[in-house]
Structure 1
Amino acid sequence: MQHTSSMARRRLLMAGGALGLAAAAGPLLTAPAQARATAAGPCTRVTDLGPGIEQFALMSALQVGDTVYIGSRNLEPTRVLAFHLPTRKVVAQTVLGVGHSIQALAADPTGRYLYAGILQKGDEGKPNLFRWDLTTPDKPAVGVGRTEDRDIRDLAVAPDGTVYAVGGIPGKAPALWRYDPGTGKVTELGVPDPKATLARAVAATDTTVFFGAGSTLGGGDGASKASLFAYDRAAGTFRNVTPPEMEKDPSLRDLLVVGDRLVVSTSGSTEPAKLAVMDLADLSSYSLTPTTGKVVKNLTANADTVYFATDTGLHSYSSATEVISPVAFDGDLGEIWGLDAVGGRLTVVSGYGFVGELDPATGRAVVTDLGEAGAPVIAQTAMGIAADHRYAYVGGNNGIARHDLRTGEVVNLRAPGEAKDAEVLDGVLYTGQYSSQGMWTYDPLKGGQPHQLADFPAEQNRPLDVCHDPVNALLLVGVQSDTEGGGSLWTYSTKTGEKAAHINPVDGTQLVRAVATRDGVAYLGGDNPTAQGPRGTIVAFDPVAGRELWRLDLPGSLTTGTAALAVRGRHLYGLTRKGGFFVVDLTIRRVVHTADHRAVCPGFAAMVTSRGVVYGVSDTTLFRFHPRTFALSTVVAEINGAWYSGPHVNADHRGRLYTMRGRNLVRVEDRPVI
């Protein structure tokens, strides 16, 4: 189901500056303007190509009665939709307006109240727990409390109506939180696993709350693996009840109470994910079954059958035989964010933006596109960007928007996960897909949908930077391992199809944040998300032989982690994650220039070399560096791209730049006088 839309009318901007040292861009004009270059200064033209990627992106779903409630993802403002199954229409919605996504939904035992938990990028100081009265859906949900753990990843409501929440915040071990609807108070109940970095699962009975945590994000550096704790509601104490077979996995992923049993699942990494069924009366008594997937989530049950989603589709587990079987479906369900079993049928909510009503006995299904059913199709925050002479691509959640630069048509392509970065070579798109999806590709001449080109070790799950090495005909991808720490360099030969993963080429703690190439040598920029250890090391690497050639430890204030790298001639340009700028002369392997650009680039950044000039983009500004003096000049001020996981900038074969201005894709034609 491809969605097409007409591009909004293109708008052009002309901005001039003096002597090539500044080209500030003001508000876009409402009508096209001709950009003119003169000998006195540069010419910068910005063309607005419309929303980067539009869809109803989602991150949670829960069926209550005959209605499925669906939480948004990376949309502004956040909202929950009500999708009515009998009519297959969106019949209500409530706008929460806090945070960027809703991953956690839970209903109270009466079915009257729906609770929603928020994910935030920063501490907004606002409620992150909301309640919607489903008897009056025309009235908005209200904020009822706030946990100090910024992000709520899962919610559970006990039989007496008490709400429990888990989640996390970077740099702090996650706690168990309780909301008492009688008093309206939110209370921290303790931190059962001080070495965990994130809690993703919670379930509750009359007597016990089950808390599942681990290190799906921020692994390594001594972080714990999967852990399951039972909290005694009367005594207020925690007890570790983790099945030993699950302790190698990075995290507990989901929990479900079914009668007298507790169903437990994990996210896998170096091993496949696992499923366990535990006896609530004796938690040491359980059956455990390995799966073939990287993750087991969205647990639901019908009688003695447990259904769940993995990265390979839908599966069922028979409690009687302890056998896992695939559930037939003619099509691609993509990344599943909602699964409920009611009356012998399954309701599946896909990240591709549809609701599927599936008969597991026959595999027959009715699929309803949420946009066509009345869900708002709006611009979301963007990820990777790539372009050539015909198409520009913008990555989002479970989709990649293809912008036709001739006609203005925009088509949403399907790709599971997130296209974190991308390149176009000879008209073919190549992407690095998060999480653990490897490299994907799409050829517009062949049509169809993107497909996986190469897989890589599952624990090397977060591709960050994609670049092309024309000397060796290799695609180079810098990668982070969320669960194990460190990272890798992926290589893929566009000639032979051979692939390789070079694990921890910087060291055991530094991921590979950025990659640049010159004369067949890859330059890797290290970063370290933990509080301990080195960060910001530069490594020259032979991607064919798979060996280090030399390394450079940056001095002083530049040791704050690499944000971006680019090569021009014999110089390697680099930005750190705190605005430090450096230039390395590759012939003598020394830093020959440094500067402090925190005012323009205080955090994540991206760089690209175009028309002999290195350009960079931060969250706020598009800028360039003078090729001789290395001075920074603003190209477009207050560009303020709406990014989800750090800014991106890329160039087509003519040297035109593509990045985001707000939630719109823009093309920037810059001709500085240098």
Structure 2
Amino acid sequence: MQDGSITRRQMMQWGAVGAGALAVAGLPATDALAAPRSGVRVKDLGPGVTNFSLAAAIPVGNMAYIASRNIDPMRIIGFDFDTEKVTSVTEGPGISTQLLAVDPDGRYLYSAIREYDSAPGPGFVRLDLSVADAPKEDLHSIPGLDPYAISASPDNKIFFGGREPQPKLRQYDPATGELTEIAIPDPNVPMIRCLLATQDKIYIGTGASLGATPTSTKAGLFVMDRATKKITSILPKEFTGQVEVRDVGLYDGTLYVCSTTDAGAAVAIMDADDPAQYTLVQSEQHFLRLPRKLGDRMYFNGAALIELTLSTGTFREIKPKDGDFGEIWGLWIRDGKVIVVSAFGLIFEVDPSTGSDTSWDLIAAGAPIGPQLAMSIAADTHNVYVGGTNSVARHDLRTGKPSRVLATSEAKDILLHRGTAHFAQYNAIGLLAYNPHIDDAWTRKLADLPPEQNRPHQIVWDDRHRLMVIGLQSDYESGGSLMTFDPKNGATTVAVNPIDDDQMIRAVVAHDGVTYLGGQNVATTAGTLVAWDPVRKRELWRMTPQSKPTGITGLTVLGRHLYVMCFRGDFFVIDLRTRKVIHSANHGPVVPNYGTLLADRGYVYGASSSDFVRYDRKTFARTDLVALDADWYGIPRAAVDERGRFYAIRERNLIRIDVSRC
């Protein structure tokens, strides 16, 4: 066991190694394609972002079993606390799982995994822990389900559910091998969020943290009698109308239910035999989950390690001696200590009586690293940043060496301004900053995101107003918002639903004091373009360029023209003086889903998961420059540095593209 936490210097060294429709004027709607040109050079710079991140961890005896996140293939590793080594690595389908459950005998470890198109499954599997290498057994395919909750009952049944239309509670019986759908607790809620199975009951928490529509129901708490299948709502009145019931625990006949009120996260402490009898303990945290009991204290993941003293009802935050826990995906009690499994690839053992902690580095212990799906990219003269999951890779262009920046959760977009990288961080993490000259491994928080506006899409610089502008989506309420941040004084503003109640702000560009907003809804059936005054927070004009909207995913301005890329390749050029569409085309062959745009030195370029292209500034015809076949998690982008060199993702590697301007 290591004596004390990993230092910032050690982390840096480890990171370096682990590294409405308008009439269209102008050209017809065709896939205009110019002849390819020479003068394109590509250099492979290696994996874009490499890590062993994780999203689930549970104890089995003196072992911790931990599931990786956003590396291919997904792995479930076994870490032995006695030897401080990873003793098993089992490959699974998909790219990650949040769900692990062990049977009462500790022999089988179950997991429910989303069946992605790239790794179709089967998604319900188990590992035999009685065998040294913990081999995987495929049990059932679960297409269409994004799993979010799993629980094993004392009589060895496995229950799970998640996000899908009319989310269903499923039961797996190991004795028969049968998987059955046994209940739909609420047909109008997007997801089953948490589960807890006992010998005779199942507690079901539901919510709308993802996939919400204006008609969705939200937080729910139900108890199902396993014998009769009768379902009863036991939701505390204070949680009515909130986003979700996040988690539930049961200790000594008492339920601990985690949700929120208007004042922040709260815990309802309920009599399991008479759920109408409860007390509410209020916290200032954004959320609480993973309730674990140790004597008179409860411990939670609350975007930090949170302790609740039951006898006094008081909360406190416990921090590691160095750095940050980051996202906590595993939490349990072991020998009177609190075990915290961090998505940074670390395990902490915290002594709550003294506040001291000990830590293990999973990569050093033998956890296999791998290139992640990239989420964002930005470049300046000296550095290229590639955002991933709980990690951002900084590629030093002078030395060629990558290092790791520890940024909690997901860097959905990155803005480089005056040598500082600014990360628009999901899920509701906020606006983070990192400067390699003054920061070590961890980022700094500059601002919170607006309430309920949890998913950033794009961050850009408004040179006229000297503001950062961030387009956001609300997973909870639908719609989205536009946020500004003034780096001079730290002031923020927000305009909620500047397009409408249904459309997120998928794309943003700032030009000459005007911010242009590209909208899309979760069904990809909306795509409104809005010109917006970010200072007065008012609309200047709007249009919907597509006759059958699919959503706007890329915007840029060159001269007097606003370029618009839509989902699956519809492409428009708008004259900003006349506010008329002067060119339209479809570039679906190179924009199979999301496409984005950027302007540099008199040209407009486009990036998708398929290709990196250029558009002629006079005819708007497309020249295909580089085939990418990029593995992206989200919206594919490219970046350009001050020298005019482009950076993109090909497969999972970072590449530099030098393009002749002739």
Query: Does TM, scored on the shorter chain, surpass 0.5?
Result: yes
Query: What corresponds to 1:654 in structure 2?
Result: 643
Helix, strand or coil at the partner of 2:403: strand
Instruction: Supply the distance in 2 between the matched residues of 1:419 and 1:536 (Cα, whole angstroms).
Output: 24
In 2, the alpha carbon distance for the partners of 1:20 and 1:390 equals 34
Residue pair 1:6, 1:409 contacting (<8 A) in 2 also: no
Q: Which moved more, 1:453-462 or 1:474-483?
A: 453-462
Q: Which residue of 1 aligns with 2:527?
A: 536
1:650 & 1:81 partners in 2: Cα distance?
35
Aligned-pair distance for 1:498? Answer: 2.5
Q: Kindly indicate whether residue 507 of structure 2 is the aligned counterpart of residue 514 of structure 1.
A: yes
The answer for the alignment partner of 1:134 in structure 2 is 129
State whether residues 101 and 120 of structure 1, in contact with CA within 8 Å, keep that contact through their aligned partners in structure 2: no
Does the CA contact (< 8 Å) of 1:78 and 1:101 recur in 2?
yes
Contact 1:468 1:476 in 2 (8 A): yes
Determine if contact 2:115/2:144 at 8 Å carries over to the other structure: no
Identity percentage of aligned residues: 38
The amino acid across from 2:537 in the alignment is: G
Report the Cα distance in structure 2 between the residues aligned to 1:210 and 1:20, rounded to whole angstroms.
Answer: 57
TM-score, normalising length from structure 1? Answer: 0.91
Aligned partners of 2:439, 2:299: CA distance in 1, in Å? 34
1:453-602 alignment, distance < 5 Å = 453-530=446-523, 535-557=526-548, 559-602=549-592
Q: Would you say the 8 A contact 2:421–2:434 is kept in 1? A: yes
**Residue matched to 1:272:** 264
Determine if the alignment matches structure 1 residue 218 to structure 2 residue 211: yes
* Partner AA of 1:502 in structure 2: A
1:253 matched to 2:246? The reply is yes
Matched, 1:93 2:89: yes
Aligned-partner Cα distance in 1 for 2:659–2:260: 46
**1:336 pairs with 2:336:** no
**Change in 2 beyond 3 A, CA 1:591/1:20:** closer
Counterpart secondary structure, 1:578: helix
- Alpha-carbon distance, 1:267 to partner: 6.0
Using the TM superposition, give the Cα deviation of residue 633 of structure 1 relative to its aligned residue in structure 2, in angstroms.
1.8
Indicate conservation of the 8 Å contact 1:123/1:150, yes or no.
no
Secondary structure at 1:549 match in 2: strand
The answer to whether the 8 A contact 2:615-2:621 is kept is yes
What is the identity, as a one-letter code, of the residue corresponding to 2:41? Answer: R
Write the letter of the residue equivalent to 2:280: L
Equivalent residue in structure 2 for 1:324, among 294, 315, 319: 315
- Does the alignment pair 1:398 with 2:385? no
CA deviations 1:240-299 (Å, max 9, x no partner) are 11111112321111122223122211267x651221222111121122212211121122
Partner of 1:610: 600
1:188 aligns with 2:181: yes
Partner Cα separation in structure 1 for residue 17 and residue 308 of structure 2: 45
SS at match of 2:644: coil
Deviation at 1:585, TM superposition (A): 0.8
Asked if residue 283 in structure 1 is aligned to residue 275 in structure 2, the reply is yes
In the alignment, the residues of structure 1 paired with residue 599 and residue 637 of structure 2 have an alpha-carbon distance, to the nearest angstrom, of 13
Aligned residue in 1 for 2:622: 632
1:106 is matched with which residue? 101
Consecutive unaligned residues in structure 1, runs of 5 or more: 9-18, 24-40
Counterpart of 2:97, as a letter, is: I
Q: Which one-letter code corresponds to 2:214 in the other structure?
A: D
C-alpha distance in structure 1 between counterparts of 2:127 and 2:650, whole Å: 34
Give the aligned residue type for 1:373: A
SS in 1 for 2:44: strand
Question: Where in structure 2 are the equivalents of 1:430-449 lying within 5 Å?
Answer: 430-448=422-440, 449=442
Counterpart contact for 1:52–1:664, Cα < 8 Å: yes
Shift of residue 366, structure 1, vs aligned partner: 0.9
Change (3 A) 1:241 1:104: same
Question: How much does 1:447 deviate?
Answer: 2.9
Per the TM alignment, residue 494 of structure 1 is displaced from its structure 2 partner at its CA by 3.2
Q: 1-side partners of 2:265 and 2:199: how far apart?
A: 29
| SS in structure 2 of the partner of residue 245 of structure 1 | helix
Q: Secondary structure at the match of 2:594?
A: coil
Aligned to 1:21: 34
Distance 2:260 2:568 in 1: 33
Instruction: Give the structure, 1 or 2, with the largest relative contact order (CA under 8 Å, sep 6 or more).
Output: 2
Question: Which residue number in structure 1 is paired with residue 51 of structure 2?
Answer: 55
Residue equivalent to 2:8 = none
Question: Which residue of the other structure, out of 388, 399, 402, is the alignment partner of 2:380?
Answer: 388
| Deviation string, structure 1 residues 360-392 (Cα, Å, up to 9, x no partner) | 111111111111111112111111111101000
Is the 8 Å Cα contact of residues 149 and 194 (structure 2) preserved in structure 1? yes
Looking at structure 2, the residues matched to 538 and 361 of structure 1 have their Cα atoms a distance apart, in angstroms, of 56
Deviation string, structure 1 residues 18-71 (Cα, Å, up to 9, x no partner): x99354xxxxxxxxxxxxxxxxx4311111111111110100100111111100
Aligned-CA RMSD value = 1.9
Match in the other structure for 1:15:
none
Q: Matched residues in 2 for 1:222 and 1:291: separation?
A: 29
Where do 5+ consecutive residues of structure 2 fail to align? 1-10, 20-31
Please, which of 326, 348, 358 is the counterpart of residue 366 of structure 1? 358
Match of 1:375 in 2: 367
CA–CA separation in structure 2 for the residues paired with 1:633 and 1:658: 17
Is the CA contact 2:603–2:614 (under 8 Å) kept in the aligned structure 1? yes
| Structure 2 match to 1:33 | none
Distance 2:118 2:268 in 1: 35
Please, which moves more after superposition, 66-75 or 298-307? 298-307
The equivalences for 1:24-43 within 5 A come to 41-43=37-39
Letter matched to residue 443 of structure 1: N
> 1-side partners of 2:648 and 2:120: how far apart?
31
- Residue of structure 2 equivalent to 1:27: none
Take 2:604 and 2:203, find their aligned partners in 1: how far apart are those partners? 52
* Cα shift at 1:149: 4.5
Distance 1:319-1:123 versus aligned 2 partners, 3 A rule: farther
Please, which moves more after superposition, 115-124 or 581-590? 115-124
| 1:485-510 CA-partner distances (Å, limit 9, x unpaired) | 11111112234433211111111111
Residues paired across the two proteins, number: 637
- Residues 519-548 of structure 1: per-residue CA shift (max 9 Å, x gap): 1111000111148xx721111111122111
Q: Retained in 1: the 8 A contact 2:115–2:143?
A: no
Of the structure 1 ranges 113-122 and 239-248, higher mean CA displacement relative to structure 2 is found in 113-122
The more displaced of 490-499 and 653-662 is 490-499
Task: Report the Cα offset of residue 358 of structure 1.
Answer: 1.2
Distance (whole Å) between structure 1 residues aligned to residue 15 and residue 430 of structure 2: 27
Report if the CA contact (8 A) 1:131-1:144 is conserved: yes
Moved more, 589-598 or 443-452: 443-452
Code of the residue aligned with 2:469 in structure 1: it is L
- Cα displacement (A) at 1:6: 6.3
* Structure 1 residue 344, shift from structure 2 partner: 0.9
Match of 1:160 among 155, 162, 167: 155
Contact 1:128 1:151 in 2 (8 A): no
| Kept after mapping to 1: 8 A contact 2:18/2:51 | no
CA distance in 1 between counterparts of 2:402 and 2:139 reads 40
Deviations 1:390-441 (A, max 9, x none): 0000111112111001111111011112111011122111121111122111
Q: Distance in 2 between matches of 1:271 and 1:667?
A: 48
**How many angstroms does 1:139 deviate by?**
4.3
